[in-house]
Structure 1
Amino acid sequence: MSDAASAEEAAALDAADGLALKRAEFDLDDGVVYLDGNSLGAPPRGVAGRLSDVVGREWGRLGIRAWEESGWWTAPERVGDRIGRLVGAAPGQVVVGDSTSVNVFKAVVAAVRLADTASRDEVLVDAATFPTDGYLARSAARMTGCRIRAVDAADMAREAGPRTAVALVNHVDYRTGRLHDLPAVTAAVRAAGARTVWDLCHSAGALPVRLDADGADFAVGCTYKYLNGGPGAPAFLYVRRALQDRFDSPLPGWNSHADPFAMDPAYAPADGAVRGRVGTPEILSLLALDAALDVWDGVDLAAVRAKSLALTDFFLRCVEAYVPQGRVASVTPGAHAERGSQVSLRCAAGPAGGAGDVMAELIRRGVVGDFRRPDVLRFGFTPLYTRFADAERAARVLGEVLEGARRR
Structure 2
Amino acid sequence: MSTEIEREAPSMSSASMTSREACVARDFIDPLRSFRDRFVIPEGTIYLDGNSLGPMPRIAPGLLNRTIEQEWGHDLIRSWNSAGWFEMPVRLGDRIGALIGAAPGQTVVCDTTSINLYKAIHAAIGLRPDRDVVIAEDASFPTDLYIVEGAMKSAGRPMKRRLIGADGPSVEALLDRNVAAVVLSHVNYRTGELLDMPAITRLIHAAGALVVWDLCHSIGVAEIALDRDAVDFAVGCTYKYLNGGPGSPAFISVAKAHQATAQHPLSGWWGHAAPFAFDRDFRPDPGIKRFLCGTQPIISLRGVDAALDAMEGAEVAALRQKSLALTGLFMARVGALLPDLKIVTPRQASLRGSQVGIEFDRGYAVVQAMIERGVIGDFRAPNLMRFGFAPLYVRFSDVWDAAEILAESIHAEVWRDPRFSRQLEVT
Same structural fold, with TM-score higher than 0.5 when normalized by the shorter chain: yes
Alpha-carbon separation, structure 2, partners of 1:28 and 1:296: 16
Which residue in 1 is equivalent to 2:420? none
- Distance, in Å, in 2 between the alignment partners of 1:157 and 1:227 is 32
Aligned partner of 1:135 in structure 2 is: 146
2:385 matches 1:377:
yes
Contact kept, 8 Å, 1:207 with 1:301, in 2: the verdict is: yes
Alpha-carbon contact 1:154-1:180 (below 8 Å) kept: no
Counterpart CA distance in 1 for 2:199 and 2:110 is: 29
SS at match of 2:403: helix
Residue matched to 1:123? 134
Give the deviation of 1:146 after TM superposition: 1.1
TM-score, normalised by the number of residues in structure 2? 0.91
Deviations 1:52-81 (A, max 9, x none): 000010001110000011100000000000
Q: Report the residue type matching 2:376 in the other structure.
A: V
1:284 paired residue among 299, 303, 307:
299
Q: Structure 2: which amino acid aligns with 1:291?
A: A
Amino acid at match of 2:265: P
Alignment partner of 1:227 out of 222, 225, 242: 242
After superposing on structure 2, the runs of 4+ consecutive aligned residues of structure 1 that deviate more than 3 Å are none
CA distance in 2, matches of 1:255, 1:57: 25
Query: CA offset at residue 299 of structure 1?
Result: 1.3
1:399 to 374, 384, 407: 407
Output the amino acid matched with 1:142.
Answer: K
Q: Aligned match of 1:104 in 100, 109, 117?
A: 117
> Would the aligned equivalents of 1:84 and 1:90 in 2 still touch at CA under 8 Å?
yes
Letter paired with 1:290:
D
SS at match of 1:198: strand
**Separation in structure 2 between the aligned mates of residue 30 and residue 5 of structure 1, nearest angstrom:** 25
Could you tell me how far apart the structure 1 residues matched to 2:123 and 2:76 are? 36
Does residue 303 (structure 1) correspond to residue 314 (structure 2)? The answer is no
> Which of the residues 224, 231, 255 maps onto 1:209?
224
Kindly indicate whether residue 325 of structure 2 is the aligned counterpart of residue 317 of structure 1.
no
Question: Distance between the aligned counterparts of 1:86 and 1:154, measured in 2?
Answer: 31
Aligned to 2:8: none
Secondary structure in 2 matching 1:295: helix
1:321 positional shift = 2.5
> Please, which of 289, 293, 313 is the counterpart of residue 274 of structure 1?
289
Q: How does 1:6-405 map to 2 (within 5 A)?
A: 6-115=19-128, 117-118=129-130, 120-144=131-155, 145-152=158-165, 155-323=170-338, 325-326=339-340, 328-348=341-361, 354-405=362-413
Q: Quick one: distance in 2 between partners of 1:157 and 1:230? A: 37
Give the structure 2 partner of residue 351 of structure 1.
none
Structure 1 position 159, deviation (Å): 2.0
Count of aligned positions: 397
Maintained 8 Å contact 1:345/1:377: yes
Contact 2:243–2:307 at 8 Å: present in 1 too?
A: yes
Deviation at 1:30, TM superposition (A): 3.0
For 2:64 and 2:98, how far apart are their aligned partners in 1? 23
Q: CA deviation at 1:16?
A: 2.0
Which amino acid in the other structure matches residue 358 of structure 1?
V
Distance 1:171 1:9 in 2: 33
- Tell me the distance in 2 between the aligned counterparts of 1:370 and 1:146: 36
Distance 2:262 2:66 in 1: 36
Secondary structure of 2:234's counterpart equals: strand
- Structure 2 distance, partners of 1:397, 1:312, is 16
The whole-number CA distance in structure 1 between the counterparts of 2:139 and 2:49 is 21
Structure 1 residue 11, shift from structure 2 partner? 1.0
Deviation (angstroms), 1:154:
6.8
| Post-superposition CA distance 1:106-138 (Å, at most 9, x none) | 0000000001x52x1001111111000001101
- TM (norm. structure 1) is 0.95
- After superposition, the Cα gap between the structure-2 partners of 1:154 and 1:71, relative to the gap in structure 1 and judged at 3 Å, is farther
Partner-residue secondary structure (3-state), 1:279? coil
Listed as ranges, the gaps of 5+ residues in structure 1 are 349-353
**Deviating more after overlay: 147-156 vs 337-346:** 147-156
Distance 1:110 1:396 in 2: 48
Structure 1 residue 359, shift from structure 2 partner: 0.7
CA distance in 2, matches of 1:338, 1:73: 40
- Contact map agreement 1:39 1:224 (CA 8 A) in 2: yes
> Structure 2: where are the runs of 5+ without partners?
3-16, 417-427
